[in-house]
Structure 1
Amino acid sequence: MKVNRDGLRQWVNFIAILAAFGINVWANIAPWRGLTMGEISTTFFPNVLIIPANYAFAIWGLIYLGLISLAIYQVLPTQSNNPRLRQMGYYLAISSLSQIIWVFLFQSQLFALSVMAMVGILVPLILLYLKLGINLTNLPSSQRWLINFPISIYFAWISVATIVNVASALEIADWSGWGISPPVWTAIMMVVGAIIAVIVIWQRRDSIYGGVFVWALVAIAFRQGQNPTLAVIAGVLAGLLVIIISISKKAKARRKRI
């Protein structure tokens, strides 16, 4: 029997995205170990300074709104032969499966292993972002909103989450930080994150990706209200990213007019 490869890809991605969404909802409504994701973070990582304020995690609502919209769009019969969706392959399915594994590991308080699962989410998203050439070509608005936007925002937040996850795992492992104080390490990690955002913003003119980092840095500044130095550093980095995003958008508009 001949397998419909396009149909298989469509439904695997569709089911995987919905399954990851369902597991994330379950983990925050009826966690099997009794603690929600936020409660685990508050309980085990009160000293991890790079964790954003709790409100920042509301971005998951927007992420899954985008991903579910993408899941529905790509599963439509009319999109089975869409060459761009064919390029998407199973990368989102792999990321979604890794997301499910990450939830179980994090809920089980296996924080070092959860970093490996987080990398399992991040790497397919990097490959997908590069393969689809996000923001490198002009596309119909439907593809910009239903393909580029969901992938950019998901990729950006997982980039942030990977930094936070690594910092949390090192905290649990009682890492000494090579004698460098936690506030200094936090500042270093924020600068590294901002540099990554600048590279993506400038190379791809991706204001969505950069905007997610602004969101995270502002939330870090709010959480560090009792630590003025870190709050100011986070605020300044967020402000610089806003300026770079603005310059990038103007450069993109100018290039379109030429």
Structure 2
Amino acid sequence: MLLGALLAVAGAAVGSGAGGGQPVSEAADGALSADATVVAPGSPAFSIWTVIYVGLVLFAVVQALPGRASDGRMRAVAWWVLASMLLNAVWIGVVQAGWLWASVAVIACLVAVLCVILVRLVRLPPGGRLDMVVTDVTVGLYLGWVCVATLANTAATLSASEVGALGLGASGWGVVLVVLGALVVSAVAVYGSRRPSVTVPVGLAAGWGLAWIAVARFEGPLTDQTVAVAAAAAAALAVAVPVALALRR
């Protein structure tokens, strides 16, 4: 697990441009840059990865502590968390190679793995505050952000492949995607309402990503007022629904 966390951090370093790699925003001919599509988040949005990586390293350290081998909740998710770390590193690798369609497949697998972890965390109560922070909060932030990243990744791949607007136009598809992101987060919040330690971080991370889509569309260089307003509303919804359900409980 510790090796997986270190691999994920090393992959992040490569994806930032260190160690001979290209920054993700410049890889694949800039297909994933902040102005590549109308649903690309502004560059500061990606700073959330620092928090996620810190959480993953802490999870790896905590699960290696004496006595954790008998922790049923930790055992239920540990290998899945490791799989998510490896998929994260693979995603950076395929983007560096310019294989955009492969990156969509990898990030879809990453979302699926994180959803499995979510289901298991909802079913099993945390053993204490430490478990809640390093497991629930980390996974919640990870899933919320990756949901937004999946929308951006898919849109960038379709744009780079010159698929076309399919009748809706860039603005229309932008609105559809950001609203879909908010609805997915809302569905997660309803499903996991008894475990707000997971669902509230999901909403916060998704709201963060959607808000930065709004900022990027308001300020440019690729401006789109329609998508900006829709993304801002979607960000508010993504945060409000899980918080409201948590307060209701």
Matched to 1:118, the amino acid is I
Spell out, residue by residue over 1:162-212, the C-alpha distance to the aligned partner (whole angstroms, 9 max, x if none): 111111111111112322201100100011110001111222231111111
CA-CA distance at 1:76 after TM superposition? 1.1
Matched, 1:212 2:199: no
> More displaced, 89-98 or 207-216?
89-98
Q: Identify the range of structure 1 (63-72 vs 43-52) with the bigger mean alpha-carbon deviation.
A: 43-52
Provide the residue aligned with 2:179 in structure 1.
191
> Which residue is equivalent to 1:107?
96
Structure 1 residues 233, 130: closer, same or farther in 2, change over 3 A?
same
**Residue 202 of structure 1: which of 190, 193, 196 is its match?**
190
For 2:245, the equivalent position in structure 1 comes to 248
| Residue of structure 2 equivalent to 1:39 | 26
Can you give the 5+ residue segments of structure 2 that lack an aligned partner in the other structure? 194-198
Residue 137 of structure 1 and its aligned partner are, at CA, apart by 3.7
- Paired position in structure 2 for 1:80: 69
What one-letter code is carried by the residue in structure 2 that aligns with 1:248?
L
In structure 1, C-alpha distance between the alignment counterparts of 2:94 and 2:66, rounded to whole Å: 36
CA contact (8 A) 1:31 1:107 kept: no
Counterpart check, 1:130 vs 2:150: no
Q: CA deviation at 1:228?
A: 1.8
Q: Which 4+ residue blocks in structure 1 deviate beyond 4 angstroms? A: none
Structure 1 vs Structure 2: percent identity of aligned residues?
A: 23
1:138 deviates by 6.1
Which ranges of structure 1 fall in alignment gaps of 5 or more residues? 1-12, 253-258
CA shift in 2, pair 1:110/1:41, >3 Å:
closer
1:227 aligned onto 2:220: no
Alpha carbons 2:175, 2:226 under 8 Å: kept: no
Matched residue type, 2:247 = K
Residue 31 (structure 1) shift: 5.5
Q: 1: CA distance between counterparts of 2:36 and 2:42?
A: 13
Change (3 A) 1:51 1:42: farther
Counterpart in 1 of 2:128? 140
1:17/1:92 contact within 8 Å kept: no
- Quote the Cα distance in structure 2 between the aligned partners of 1:111 and 1:32: 20
Equivalent-residue separation in structure 2 for 1:31 and 1:42 (angstroms): 19
Aligned to 1:181: 169
* Residues 1:41 and 1:223: Cα distance change in structure 2 (over 3 Å): farther
Higher radius of gyration, 1 or 2: 1
Counterpart of 1:232, as a letter, is: V
Q: How many residues align?
A: 238
Q: Quick one: distance in 1 between partners of 2:8 and 2:78? A: 17
Greater mean deviation of Cα atoms: 202-211 or 239-248: 239-248
Residue 155 of structure 1 is matched in structure 2 by 143
Q: Bigger shift: 237-246 or 109-118?
A: 237-246
Distance in 2 (alpha carbons) for counterparts of 1:89 and 1:22? 20
Q: Work out the CA distance in 2 between the residues paired with 1:24 and 1:240.
A: 30
Could you tell me the TM-score, scaled by structure 2's length?
A: 0.88
Contact 1:197 1:213 (8 Å CA) reproduced: yes
2:93 maps to 1:96: no
Q: Which residue of 1 aligns with 2:10?
A: 22
Q: CA RMSD in A?
A: 1.9
**Alignment counterpart, residue 63 of structure 1, candidates 52, 55, 58:** 52
The residue identity in structure 2 corresponding to 1:98 is L
Task: Give distance in 2, aligned partners of 1:41 and 1:232.
Answer: 29
